[in-house]
Amino acid sequence: MTASTHETDTLHAPARAPRRDAEVTDLDLVRATRAASTRERRRAARSRDLTALLHSRPDLSGVHAPADFAVDGVRWCV
């Protein structure tokens, strides 16, 4: 008995790898969580350092409007 050409192709076809974009692994979730945590720490450090700088150097106030806005935002949050 011989198999038809169609059956042979089906039996010996290579297994397809799962689509990478369709699945999220635990490792991907851990990496995303760590990246978000790192971004948040950096953002907090920049705000803290900017606030400390403008507190120690009042002559810098009014030089860069976005910096003043950030310091005011920190001041109102705490």
Tell me the per-residue pLDDT of 7-21, one tens digit each, with 9 for 90 and over.
555 555 556 655 555
How far are the Cα atoms of 6, 26, 40, 65 from residue 50, in angstroms, in the given order?
70, 36, 15, 13
Tell me the per-residue pLDDT of 27-72, one tens digit each, with 9 for 90 and over.
888 899 999 999 999 988 888 888 888 889 888 888 888 888 888 8
Contact 69, 50 (CB under 8 A): no
Overall size of the chain counted in residues: 78
pLDDT of residue 24: 66
Nearest to residue 61, comparing CAs of 20, 10, 53? Answer: 53
